[in-house]
Structure 1
């Protein structure tokens, strides 16, 4: 089961570390749902939960690291929405692929790109990468 290591950083951010296991995804989604409610951003729930699920699932499935390496998830309150970050120690860089209707996978980043206002892959302090995406309230000023 996922576990908490770090407490929330502030009222404007939630930071958690999870074992790189599929069962961390629903726990991380529940954390995001609570944060969105606390921040008055429940209207972003559907899009933000989809984005978080895809990013976290990618880290769990594809970060080529020992199974005991954890992933870090950050939910950061922004003026008009939320930034979702997933940090992992894997060296690979994900790419958006055109969905294959005959395949069971490969649609994660395609969905993120279609749902989030913006997203990117970047460096992080330490080995690996940070993938982030931002979801904003429709019509809000960024």
Structure 2
């Protein structure tokens, strides 16, 4: 798997930087159009969750990894130092939050959560299969 990684501050503004990094990398791999748009939306949800829900001291970074496996599967991973695992919930019609993981489940081909390999916390990931087997 070819992958790139980046550490970002745990602030709401990091979603903008993460999307720019993702677009740059996907463009380099020749991935564009609807798949890029979907990847950006999914990344935004994962970063928003890491920023909002990770109960860690201020100043801790979040991690971003973007990978391309076998030229056919894009994997996006956001890690944080929080130990709570994401749980989809049923948002009511008046709720202003709570739809992010439902959106992730609907748009990603696969998604999940695993312990961070090096350190405390977790990594939440999504995978998108490229149409036609690759760029």
Question: TM-score by structure 1 length?
Answer: 0.87
Match of 1:136 in 2: 129
Q: How many residues align?
A: 131
Match of 2:94 in 1: 102
C-alpha deviation, 1:119, in angstroms: 0.4
> Is the CA contact 1:41–1:81 (under 8 Å) kept in the aligned structure 2?
no
Match of 1:34 in 2: 24
Q: Distance in 1 between matches of 2:43 and 2:110?
A: 13
Match of 1:62 in 2: 53
SS of residue matched to 1:103: coil
SS of residue matched to 1:119: strand
Q: Find runs of 4+ consecutive structure 1 residues off by over 3 angstroms.
A: none
2:6 to 6, 16, 21: 16
Q: Distance in 1 between matches of 2:4 and 2:13?
A: 19
Q: Distance in 1 between matches of 2:26 and 2:56?
A: 31
C-alpha deviation, 1:91, in angstroms: 1.1
Question: TM-score by structure 2 length?
Answer: 0.91
How large is the RMSD of aligned CA atoms in angstroms?
A: 1.5
Q: Which runs of 5+ in 1 are unaligned?
A: 1-9
Of structures 1 and 2, the one with the larger relative CO (CA 8 A, separation 6+) is 2
Write the deviation string for residues 108-127 of structure 1: whole angstroms up to 9, x where unpaired.
11111100000001111211
SS of residue matched to 1:16: strand
Write the deviation string for residues 52-71 of structure 1: whole angstroms up to 9, x where unpaired.
00001100000000111100
Q: Which runs of 5+ in 2 are unaligned?
A: none
